[in-house]
Amino acid sequence: MYERTRRRWLMRAFAALCLAPTVAVVGFCVVKNRPGLRTEQVRRLEAVLGLCVELDDFREPVPGKLRFDGLTLKDPETGAVVFRAARLDVRWQPPDDAPAAAGSVLVLSAESAELSAAGLDAAVSLADRALRGRLSQPSVRIVLGRLHFEDNGRTDSFSDVQASIDQQAAGSALRACFRWEQSAEPARVQVVRQRHSSAAAYQVELDTRDAALPCRLLAHAWPAFAPCGDDATFRGCVWAAGGETPAADLAGELAAVDLGRLASLYSGYRFSGRAP
């Protein structure tokens, strides 16, 4: 795997799932530390995120819980919508394996959220900062009923989305799971950044379980899937590691592949296997 492709896969691998936690982490800290005017909070969010922020309202419905209404992020140059959530609830809870005094976990929840393909570059940047431990909140959990991904007028939806970002002594980890269409088991993603090495190494694992994910979606993270065609799907596992000795392994099943397109792009290669 080429270094550039590997990095794109490691950093874009469902970076969408990092965007909402990062936004809410920053927003929560700003509101919690100084509950000023809404416009002031919007300016601070814009300064940190580098995006245009629109926020209809924020309030504290019960002690220890904040609610963001009408949160929208836009590209400052094009004005395109990057991310949108009609309502995002934020609360603190003790870690699962420690008392409250040992630290708190920021929990984010929403019934529905939207992400645009135009926002992937911003999501990559925010995910990189989170994995490098450059956010004030070390542990984040996110729960979304549905996550809608819009790309060139086409919308795909993931359900039962759960994700976490944790900082540990050896490194940081992003873990996520989600359901695609009517899959019986949720697909799982894990991105780990190891700190204690001569060059910080990323490792990513994807297990689709019984879900056949569209290659056009996977191509946003790994461009090697793009030539398979718009109707192609992949079911299986992907493992990739970076650092001084990059390596990758893919095992699974590709279906509905555009063989004509592959043949035209890779005319110098020999293909073998079964085709229906």
148-174: per-residue pLDDT in tens?
A: 999 988 999 999 999 998 877 777 889
The answer as to whether 175 is a domain residue is yes
Range of the domain at 41: 3-265
- In terms of DSSP bridges, do strands 140-151 and 105-116 run parallel, antiparallel, or are they unpaired? parallel
The answer as to whether 57 is a domain residue is yes
The answer as to whether 273 is a domain residue is no
| Nearest in space to 122 (alpha carbons), one of 154, 164, 89, 80 | 80
CB atoms within 10 A of CB 184: 8
Number of H helices, E strands in the chain: 6, 12
**102-124: average pLDDT:** 82
pLDDT given for residue 193 in this prediction:
86
pTM of structure: 0.78
Beta strands in 75-104 (DSSP E): 81-93
Distances (CA, A) of 60 to 35, 193, 195: 11, 35, 37
- In terms of DSSP bridges, do strands 247-255 and 233-241 run parallel, antiparallel, or are they unpaired? antiparallel
Q: Is residue 102's pLDDT more than 80?
A: no
The pLDDT mean for the chain works out to: 79
Structure letter (DSSP) for residue 119: G
**190-200: average pLDDT:** 73
Beta strands in 152-219 (DSSP E): 154-167, 171-180, 187-194, 201-207, 213-214
The answer as to whether 276 is a domain residue is no
Q: Which amino acid is at 103?
A: G
The answer as to whether 126 is a domain residue is yes
Give residue for tokens 């019960």.
Answer: 62
pLDDT given for residue 34 in this prediction:
46
Residue 190 banded pLDDT, cuts 50, 70, 90: very high
Across 200-210, b (16+ Cβ under 10 Å) vs e yields ebbbbbbbbbe
Residue 59 banded pLDDT, cuts 50, 70, 90: confident
Q: Quick one: tokens of 231?
A: 């109707």
- Phi first, then psi, for residue 96 (nearest 5°) are -65, -30
pLDDT given for residue 241 in this prediction:
84
Q: How many domains does the chain have?
A: 1
Calpha distance 220→222 (Å, rounded): 6
The answer as to whether 197 is a domain residue is yes
pLDDT given for residue 33 in this prediction:
44
pLDDT given for residue 53 in this prediction:
83
78 Cβ neighbours under 8 A, 6+ residues apart: 118
The answer as to whether 274 is a domain residue is no
Calpha distance 129→125 (Å, rounded): 6
220-246: per-residue pLDDT in tens?
A: 888 889 999 989 999 999 998 877 777
**166-190: average pLDDT:** 88
The answer as to whether 81 is a domain residue is yes
